[in-house]
Structure 1
């Protein structure tokens, strides 16, 4: 399967593109990365931003790395984004996304995306407000999809989250949103499926499975984030970890059974900022080794 890695592990540790590119190629033996905007903020002014983009592209090219896509990252996941109750804040969130799309195109990626935003507690409890925020969201994402298409990107990737005030947070919401976006002419909208999100028990219950998400979203899944969890949070642990319960071989088999074996899988292990650098490097290496072996097992299983 197409295993790559999200560069969230490099945040605050390997900001130099030459450093993370060499680590990904030499230590991990991977050929594909997903850039996080925590390493390159679209808000930066264009001359400086352009020089950083050039440096990233050159570092990746020297290591024969493909920058598959770019995603929101931690810093811009925190604001309410496209679901903010303030219209000016929503306008600025849309502007940030438009700039992010431009950056992704300049990087030579195939896609851009991430979580879309979070409703306020007040809006979420008022059906009229919630409906208005949803309609605003569909309008904004349709504009962003059009911009992504014109920029030459294959997909605008939407990442469902296990938070009830974020859209989408359920399989039903995902299905409705993709239908509404399709009706608005946004045929290039697709989903990033984060495996750790799919089994969050406090929202989805103890019987929630990865398989129902893969089956429910099907061909609309264009990318997978692979991370480990105990089903009670979103820790983005790696492997091995005695606390985690994500069976990577099982995930691979479900993807293969759904005809999604060729969908890129990005390992998304996000260590604590407090963890020492050598521990983090070892964790990323062991996680890649574990996932590579598990996905290879899934790919060779009968019927795969």
Structure 2
């Protein structure tokens, strides 16, 4: 099976969305990880439905697939990074994040996306672990209902430092929720290198039944810093071959959210690197 490669718009924030999509198509990417944010399909815009239709037409015209990502730093609160979260002590604040994710599911359905990505958030101070998990399950329930209704899986990402920070945490959440069909996993390959006990290729094999979205970048053990390929420690050929062997049909999206200043060049270098790393599973040569 050939992997479908994408690039995240959170690494192209200096480009207009139309320009970013055109760039990725020209470079030979199969799709895009579209982060809903003020500069790229603002999820709080009053004309979101019409904007979504325009983006859907643009994606179709370029032949690009899409996954919807929800990691915008300040889309809900201009003063708190990723705030409020699904773990916020204030029920109304948690509801705001839940509402954003429900809207993301609806946007994803309008775009024909293969998944909606999300994460748990950091456990607030003076909050017990049990309380944090209770908040998370309660806040996700309406999102999972929307995902079931729209036919778009919700793919939660283990994020270093978050309540749900590892693959073990994902399985704990599945158990707490009763293993709902719409709940899947976003596997970030760099995060596997950062903190999982098994090598990234083994993490891919273990996660295979629940894979709904994949993010990829280089990283070093114990340091949560998204790095361009070749700047970290990951041996990529076994990882890419393991991904292809799972039969995963969604996008494998390069995630370099702190590198927008060099986004176009890194988008080109990234697809070239991945094609060289595993030419049998990453779509062959770059276009002329």
TM range (shorter): 0.7 to 0.9
Of the three residues 246, 251, 255, the one matched with 2:239 is 251
1:24 aligns with 24
Q: Where in structure 1 are there 5+ consecutive unaligned residues?
A: 124-128
SS in 2 for 1:199: helix
SS in 2 for 1:157: strand
SS in 2 for 1:234: strand
> Which residues in structure 2 correspond to 1:77-156 (within 5 Å)?
78-123=82-127, 129-153=128-152, 155-156=153-154
SS in 1 for 2:169: helix
Question: CA separation of 1:142/1:296 partners in 2, compared to 1, >3 Å: closer, same or farther?
Answer: farther
1:42 aligns with 43
After TM superposition, the structure 1 stretch with the greater mean CA deviation from structure 2, 82-91 or 108-117, is 108-117
Task: With the length of structure 2 as denominator, give the TM-score of the two structures.
Answer: 0.85
Q: Where in structure 2 are there 5+ consecutive unaligned residues?
A: 76-80, 284-288
Q: Is the 8 A contact 1:111 1:156 kept in 2?
A: yes
Return the offset for 1:214: 2.3
Return the offset for 1:167: 2.9
> Which residues in structure 2 correspond to 1:188-203 (within 5 Å)?
188-201=182-195
Return the offset for 1:227: 0.5
> Which residues in structure 2 correspond to 1:31-70 (within 5 Å)?
31-38=30-37, 39-45=40-46, 48-67=47-66, 69-70=67-68
The whole-number CA distance in structure 2 between the counterparts of 1:270 and 1:263 is 20
The whole-number CA distance in structure 2 between the counterparts of 1:16 and 1:256 is 29
Q: Is the 8 A contact 2:211 2:248 kept in 1?
A: no
2:254 aligns with 267
SS in 2 for 1:167: coil
Return the offset for 1:298: 5.9
2:200 aligns with 210
Of the three residues 144, 148, 160, the one matched with 1:162 is 160
The whole-number CA distance in structure 2 between the counterparts of 1:250 and 1:108 is 30
SS in 2 for 1:3: strand
After TM superposition, the structure 1 stretch with the greater mean CA deviation from structure 2, 49-58 or 186-195, is 49-58
Coordinate RMSD, CA, aligned: 2.3
1:236 aligns with 226
The whole-number CA distance in structure 2 between the counterparts of 1:74 and 1:245 is 27
Q: Is the 8 A contact 1:249 1:298 kept in 2?
A: no
The whole-number CA distance in structure 2 between the counterparts of 1:59 and 1:299 is 24
Question: CA separation of 1:146/1:252 partners in 2, compared to 1, >3 Å: closer, same or farther?
Answer: same
The whole-number CA distance in structure 2 between the counterparts of 1:107 and 1:221 is 20
Task: With the length of structure 1 as denominator, give the TM-score of the two structures.
Answer: 0.81
SS in 1 for 2:220: coil
Return the offset for 1:33: 1.4
Return the offset for 1:80: 4.3
SS in 1 for 2:185: strand
Of the three residues 249, 264, 272, the one matched with 1:289 is 272
Q: Is the 8 A contact 2:6 2:32 kept in 1?
A: yes
Larger-Rg structure:
1
The whole-number CA distance in structure 2 between the counterparts of 1:52 and 1:226 is 28
The whole-number CA distance in structure 1 between the counterparts of 2:263 and 2:99 is 34
Return the offset for 1:235: 2.8
Q: Is the 8 A contact 1:83 1:133 kept in 2?
A: yes
The whole-number CA distance in structure 1 between the counterparts of 2:125 and 2:275 is 41
